[in-house]
Amino acid sequence: MQRILLAVDRLSTRLGQLFAWAIVLLTVFISWEVFSRYVLGRPHAWMLDVQVMLYGVLFMMAGAYTLSKNGHVRGDVLYGFFRPRTQATLDLILYFVFFLPGVLALTWAGWSFFTDSLAIREQTFNADPIPVYPFKFFLPFAGAILFLQGLVEIARCVICIRDGQWPSREQDVEEVDVDKLKAMVSHDDNRGLAAAPAERGGGPL
């Protein structure tokens, strides 16, 4: 079971890392449009639509990645003080009451939006129209990936309720722990002070 959970974590992680490159594309597109508009005097009517769609794809595809890293914001300030079994019980209830219905609705409605858009070859309304249906495809796709990751989190809740501790998850980039960083610096400083007498030829003799 743990291998399956970590495999889904890896899928969400790889997709999140892949679509994170949309930030680079957004930066390039915006920089080019500013240069083209104000230096070359040649603005592009479709560029804003591309930027909005790209940001939307980035935002949607980050959902499963963030869930796999347990990175979504929690509103309950007391949650961290609960025992793992209590946390898992609360999470399990909320997954069934809010998460699953919302994500299933997103996936179902997103697929309808995509198929309707594809059927009419929907385009943007501006001087230089671009197709919309490739962007709308990411509505059901992101919803399906998020739903799959949600099933993994539900399984983790059940395991935690049974075992009393949270199972491990796929790791990625970690935030800097300030306390650990201070401890490492302090430890290095102490080692340097202890070595100083010996380096001076030292000691009391």
Residue range 141-158, pLDDT digits in tens: 999 999 999 999 999 999
DSSP lists the bridge partners of residue 131 as: 123
- pLDDT band of residue 182 (cuts 50, 70, 90) is low
Determine the 3-state secondary structure of 120 from DSSP: coil
Q: Is the whole-model pTM more than 0.95? A: no
Return the closest-CA partner of residue 107 out of 142, 136, 133, 132.
142
| Residues 58 and 19 sit within 8 Å (Cβ to Cβ) | yes
Position 112: which residue type? S
pLDDT of residue 159: 93
For residue 102, which phi and psi values (nearest 5 degrees)?
-65, -45
Q: Residues 98-150: pLDDT tens digits?
A: 999 999 999 999 999 999 999 999 998 877 888 999 999 999 999 999 999 99
Ranges of each domain in the chain:
2-174, 177-205
Alpha carbon distance 189, 34 (integer Å) = 49
